[in-house]
Amino acid sequence: MTVENQTVVAVFVLTGLTERPELQVPLFLVFFTIYLITMVGNLGLIALIWKDPHLHTPMYLFLGSLAFADACASSSVTPKMLVNFLSKDHRTFLVECFTQFYFFGSSATTECFLLSVMAYDRYVAICNPLLYPVMMSNSLCMKFIHVSYIVGFLHSAIHVGLLVRLNFCKSNIIHYFYCEILQLFKISCTDPTMNVLLVLIFSALIQGLTFMTIIVSYFSVLLAILKTKSERGRRKAFSTCSAHLLSVSLFYGTLFLMYVRPGSGSGEDKDRMYSLFYTIIIPFLNPFIYSLRNKEVTAALRRKMK
């Protein structure tokens, strides 16, 4: 057998969203604006919930935690992408690449669990309103939040730990706008079968478990709403739940297409589009979906502005 000398790659090159030079500046302006609004919206929502005592309830504590996860997810991906739009040097070091994936993976996993406990919170509030203070106290709410973040950090750490065992010598070019784990597997000269299998298993378990929790919670909420005689009560409940379901459907839909679908049915362009949704678009939309449709948040904002 002939053994070929192979150089282990320590620096990657991110090709970004497009390689067309005439689109770099317009895309920079678009995504810079989106990132700016994302950070102002999410961090502003966190500050508003923290400052206003009327919002120190489980529903808004969950919402503030979700806003923080969204801000972290966006910040782990967007700044590097913005720099690459204006720079000719698209290099990123191995450690930097793993760090980027770690923080994004932690934020995305945490968001899955936060969305599920938020659905449970709405179920208790609508289906058992008299028992709500007992079944969903602030202390229990904080335990749910802590567990969500701990699981997110551990889940991402497992995948990064398994990435360390891989050597990258096929190529140093990543045809993506961030260090996405499936793209790293493609350029590995070490067999990544175990890594791919664990990504599929963990993704199916985490996304499947949390998504089923959301579906069961909202099915129960729907039944409770249909039994309500008050038309005003129905409208209020539908308004509260529809915003949550819109965010959930966009977030889970693109995650399922990327990590839980059987095989690789779509091309790289579609994969990049799916990734744009859960890395950039969803963190941008969530503050608007949850806050602009919420009377208590808008009332709190008016009080603080006065």
230-252 confidence digits (pLDDT tens): 677 677 667 667 767 877 888 99
Percent of the chain residues past pLDDT 90, beyond the cut = 47
Q: How far apart are CA 211 and CA 72, in angstroms?
A: 22
Is 178 within the bounds of a domain?
A: yes
**Which H or E element spans position 146?**
helix 138-163
From residue 38, how far is each of 6, 74, 170 by CA, in Å? 43, 8, 37
Distance CA 41, CA 45 (A): 6
How many domains would you assign to the chain? 1
Q: By C-alpha distance, which of 187, 83, 274 is closest to 92? A: 83
* pLDDT at residue 91 greater than cutoff 70: yes
Cβ–Cβ under 8 Å, residues 209 and 109: no
Q: What is the CATH number of the domain that holds 205?
A: 1.20.1070.10
Domain of 292, in residue numbers: 11-305
Contact 57, 142 (CB under 8 A): no
Residue-level pLDDT at 266: 52
Looking at the chain, the whole-number percentage of residues with pLDDT higher than 70 is 92
pLDDT in tens, 196-210: 999 999 999 999 999
Mean pLDDT for all residues in the chain: 87
**CB contact at 8 A, 72 and 103:** yes
Residue 257 pLDDT: 85
Residues 21-41, mean pLDDT to the nearest whole number: 94
pLDDT over 60 at 217, yes or no: yes
213 Cβ partners below 8 Å, 6+ apart?
116, 119, 120
Which segments of 180-279 are extended strands (E)?
none
Q: What is the pLDDT of residues 52-86, one digit of tens each?
A: 888 889 989 999 999 999 999 999 999 999 999 98
Predicted confidence band of residue 160 (pLDDT cuts 50, 70, 90): very high
In a 3-state reduction of DSSP, which class is residue 262? coil
Task: Specify the pLDDT at position 128.
Answer: 86
Look at residue 223 in the predicted model and tell me its pLDDT.
82
* pLDDT confidence of residue 19: 80
Does any domain span residue 164?
yes
Q: Is 232 strand, coil or helix?
A: helix
Beta strands in 124-279 (DSSP E): 173-174
Band (293; pLDDT cuts 50, 70, 90): low
Region 2-25 average pLDDT = 75
Query: Does 6 fall in a domain?
Result: no
pLDDT higher than 70, residue 267: no
Task: Please check whether residue 2 lies inside any domain of the structure.
Answer: no
CA-based angle 275:281:283, to the nearest 5? 105
- Residue 1 is assigned to a structural domain of this protein: no
**CA 227 centroid distance within chain:** 34
pLDDT band for 1, please (50, 70, 90 cuts).
very low
The Cα 158–Cα 148 span in angstroms is 16
Q: What's the CA gap between 98 and 100, in Å, rounded? A: 5
The residue with tokens 């529903």 is 59
